[in-house]
Amino acid sequence: MNLERNAKQALAMIGRWKSETEGNIAIIFALLTIPLFLLMGFAVDLQQVNTSKNRVQYILDSAVIAGAREMQAGKSDEKIKKYIKNYFESAMKAQGNNVDCADPVSTILSDSQDISVTVKCDQPTSIMHLMGTREIAFGVTSASTYGIGKVDIAFVFDVSGSMYGSKMTALKDAADTAIDVLIPEDDDGTTGEVRISMASYSSMVDAGDDYFKKVTNLNPSRTYYYTYTDRQKVGEETYCSRYRRNGTCRRWSTRDIYDDVEVTESKTINNTCVKERIGDEQFTDEDPGAYAWIEAAEAYGYMQNGRVKWYEETCNPIGPLPMTSNRDKLFDYIDDLNATGGTAGHLGIAWGWYLIAPDWDTVWPAGSDPYPYDEPDSAKAMIIMTDGEFNTQYDSSEGNSFEQSQKMCDAIKATDIKVYTVAFNAPKAGQQILAYCASGEDFAFTPESSEELKEAYTKIAQSISDLRIRY
């Protein structure tokens, strides 16, 4: 009984304590909520500032690059500063940022061709204004020095079916932007300092009407044959179909004679698609010739329902563009890109190399012959792009497309060609092979959006131009 009574008394005391403290706890919780809310708001505002700063940095870098190009064109310091200011303001307006930035302050050292630009900005706060902090100030600085020599560049575009639609639109926009950085609008194309070539790949590579025979030793128009055995009528024979009782023939008839006959049918195609190079020169930049030809697409006959059917190997019909400084030719090539077919990435990589390989001067027209690897004051670069994984190959003796790409990239980098890669919203396998091919971590880009793709190509173009950004 005593235990029961004591237990009841204890429960009663706990109940009274709970009722007396609930109010206090609620007050304490309410008081703690305020600083927690402000702390979360502080973090949100800081993240907004960081995002805005990165955007402003990118825009200012682009403005400085544009200003350096104006310097190269011989513009006065005042015109360069005005150009940078207008470029920055226009780009900021196009971005639609809510950041309030002052006019950029430019410093130009004409002797060293250095440009330094600083801009100060204010980012409105979302939460911190409740504490009286309505904006957070930050500054961004960018500088460049112009040091470009002769550069041979190869753009390699993935034009497989997965690039259809918005991806292709984004690629065209990003590539156009890179051309604007590498060859400014006021460049008349006669300096020869920057020359750009382009290759595209899908299931195969289109060698183009002008170059197919040079690389395969075959004509674009060619005939393929399919031989099969068919039972056909080869003649007739006369026989007695009705006899008399005495054994003489009353009625003579004829019947067909059949035998197995070898039949050959043909298929003429006009096709400039090419596959791997087979042999000792497969992973080299040796110019095509005896024992170094590139394999051509073929046509195959087969039987279906007693009739011959034909399968023709095809590719996206976009031939290579040898090196040029002509902006119109480059923009036209980009504009004509379309998407269809599989992804034979190792073939695209190979043709990007061929376009800037010195030994291939026997293939390309005059003026597009690549500089020697040891040409003074020169450099070579490739930009390899894909949105998928390399999944198509024809000569499996050297491995799949992924493995063949590794061998090709090893050989390319051994020549000191700088390899940039762009894995645009690509799966893990696609990112892996391009990371392997890149000349380093700083040369590999993995954009996920159209805006990030444009930024990636811009940064690559700036790097290739040796317009070095110093933060």
Q: What would the DSSP string read from start to end of 212-279? A: HHHHHSS-SEEEEEEEEEEEEEEEEEEEEEEE-TTS-EEEEEEEEEEEEEEEEEEEEEE--EEEEE-S
The residue ranges of every structural domain in the chain are 21-144, 147-212+317-464
Lowest mean pLDDT among 33-42, 54-63, 216-225, 326-335: 33-42
Which pLDDT score is estimated for 415?
Answer: 95
Which pLDDT score is estimated for 38?
Answer: 54
| pLDDT band at 345; cut points 50, 70, 90 | very high
Is the model's pLDDT at 274 over the cut of 80? yes
Question: Is the dihedral angle over the CA atoms 184, 187, 189, 195 positive or is it negative?
Answer: negative
Q: For 182-233, what is each residue's pLDDT tens digit?
A: 988 765 554 458 899 999 999 999 999 999 999 999 999 999 999 999 999 9
Which pLDDT score is estimated for 147?
Answer: 53
Which pLDDT score is estimated for 65?
Answer: 79
* 102's tokens: 């002052």
Please state the rounded mean pLDDT for residues 62-80. 81
3-state secondary structure of 182: helix
| pLDDT band at 405; cut points 50, 70, 90 | very high
Amino acid at site 99: V
Which pLDDT score is estimated for 152?
Answer: 94
| pLDDT band at 68; cut points 50, 70, 90 | confident
| pLDDT band at 172; cut points 50, 70, 90 | very high
- Model confidence pTM above 0.75: no
Q: Are strands 294-296 and 135-145 parallel, antiparallel or unpaired?
A: unpaired
Is the model's pLDDT at 395 over the cut of 80? yes
Phi, psi angle pair for 205, to nearest 5°: -120, 135
Nearest to 105 by CA among 143, 150, 154: 143
Query: For a pLDDT cut of 70, what percent of the chain falls above it?
Result: 85
Q: Tell me the pLDDT of the chain averaged across its residues.
A: 87
Per DSSP, 342 falls in state -
* CA–CA separation, 77 and 83 (whole Å): 10
User: Is the CB of residue 398 less than 8 Å from the CB of residue 360?
Assistant: no
Angle, helix 166-182 to helix 327-335, in steps of 10 degrees: 170
* CA–CA separation, 261 and 233 (whole Å): 9
Per DSSP, 280 falls in state T
The architecture of the domain spanning 147-212+317-464 is 3-Layer(aba) Sandwich (3.40)
Which pLDDT score is estimated for 331?
Answer: 97
Nearest to 336 by CA among 318, 363, 357, 314: 318
Q: For 423-437, what is each residue's pLDDT tens digit?
A: 999 999 999 999 999
Q: For 307-340, what is each residue's pLDDT tens digit?
A: 999 999 999 999 999 999 999 999 999 999 999 9
| pLDDT band at 130; cut points 50, 70, 90 | low
Please state the rounded mean pLDDT for residues 258-282. 94
Is the model's pLDDT at 111 over the cut of 90? no
* CA–CA separation, 375 and 419 (whole Å): 18
Which pLDDT score is estimated for 146?
Answer: 56
* Helix locations, 183-294, DSSP H: 212-216
Amino acid at site 220: P
Please state the rounded mean pLDDT for residues 374-397. 92
Scored b (16 or more CB within 10 A) or e, 116-151 reads bbebebbbbbebbeeeeeeebebebebbbbbebebb
* CA–CA separation, 56 and 431 (whole Å): 28
Half-sphere exposure of 462 (CA within 13 A, CB side): 25
Which pLDDT score is estimated for 164?
Answer: 95
Is the model's pLDDT at 129 over the cut of 70? no
Is the model's pLDDT at 284 over the cut of 80? yes
Spell out the residues 6+ positions from residue 410 whose beta carbon is closer than 8 angstroms to its own: 283
* CA–CA separation, 95 and 63 (whole Å): 14
Q: For 147-161, what is each residue's pLDDT tens digit?
A: 546 899 999 999 999
Scored b (16 or more CB within 10 A) or e, 311-335 reads eebbbbbbbbbbbbbebeebeebbe
User: Is the CB of residue 115 less than 8 Å from the CB of residue 144?
Assistant: yes
Phi, psi angle pair for 347, to nearest 5°: -70, -40
